[in-house]
Amino acid sequence: MDTLIQPLLSANAPERARTLIPLLDANGPEIDRRRELTPEAVDAIVGQDLLRLLLPKSLGGQEVHLVDFCKVTEAIGMGDGSAGWFVNQSNVSTSTSAAAMPHEAAAEIFNGPGAGLAWGARHNYSKAIRVPGGYRLTGKWSFASGSRHTTWIGAHSAVRNPDGTPHIRYGRPDDRSFLFLKSKARIIDDWHVLGLRGTGSDTYEVEDLFIPDEHAPARDALEERREKGPLYPIQSTLLYATGFCGVTLGIGRKMLETFTNLARGRHSKASVNPMAQNNAIQREIGMMEAKLSAARAFVHEAANEMYEAAVAGNIAVEHRLRLRLATTYAMNEATDVSVHCYRGAGTGAIMDVQPFERRLRDALTASQHMQAMLPLVEMIGRHMLGAENEIKNV
Average pLDDT along the chain:
95
The pLDDT of residue 270: 65
Of 109, 135, 159, the residue at which a domain comes to its end is: 109
Residue 6 has pLDDT above 70, yes or no: no
The pLDDT of residue 96: 97
Q: Are residues 195 and 134 in the same domain?
A: yes
Over residues 188-193, the mean pLDDT reads 98
Residue 102 has pLDDT above 90, yes or no: yes
Q: Are residues 266 and 212 in the same domain?
A: no
Q: Is 95 part of any domain?
A: yes
What digits encode the pLDDT tens for the residues 267-280?
666 666 788 899 99
Q: Are residues 246 and 347 in the same domain?
A: yes
Q: Are residues 76 and 160 in the same domain?
A: no
Q: Are residues 127 and 100 in the same domain?
A: no
Distance CA 153, CA 49 (A): 20
The pLDDT of residue 275: 87
| Confidence band for 1, pLDDT divided at 50, 70 and 90 | very low
What digits encode the pLDDT tens for the residues 347-363?
989 998 888 999 999 99
The pLDDT of residue 353: 84
Least confident of 139-148, 258-267, 334-343, 364-373: 258-267
What digits encode the pLDDT tens for the residues 71-88?
999 999 999 999 999 999
Q: Are residues 381 and 246 in the same domain?
A: yes
Of 109, 134, 161, the residue at which a domain comes to its end is: 109
Domain containing residue 170: CATH number: 2.40.110.10
Q: Supply the pTM of this predicted model.
A: 0.95
Q: Are residues 261 and 245 in the same domain?
A: yes
Over residues 102-124, the mean pLDDT reads 95
Q: Is 230 part of any domain?
A: no
The pLDDT of residue 5: 39
What digits encode the pLDDT tens for the residues 203-214?
999 999 999 999
Relative to beta strand 134-144, strand 202-212 is antiparallel
Q: Are residues 214 and 300 in the same domain?
A: no
Q: Are residues 201 and 239 in the same domain?
A: no
The pLDDT of residue 4: 35
Q: Are residues 239 and 369 in the same domain?
A: yes
Domain containing residue 52: CATH number: 1.10.540.10
What digits encode the pLDDT tens for the residues 21-37?
999 999 999 999 999 99
Structural domain total, the chain: 3
Q: Is 259 part of any domain?
A: yes
Q: Are residues 241 and 364 in the same domain?
A: yes
The pLDDT of residue 7: 44
Range of the domain at 213: 117-219
Q: Are residues 96 and 127 in the same domain?
A: no
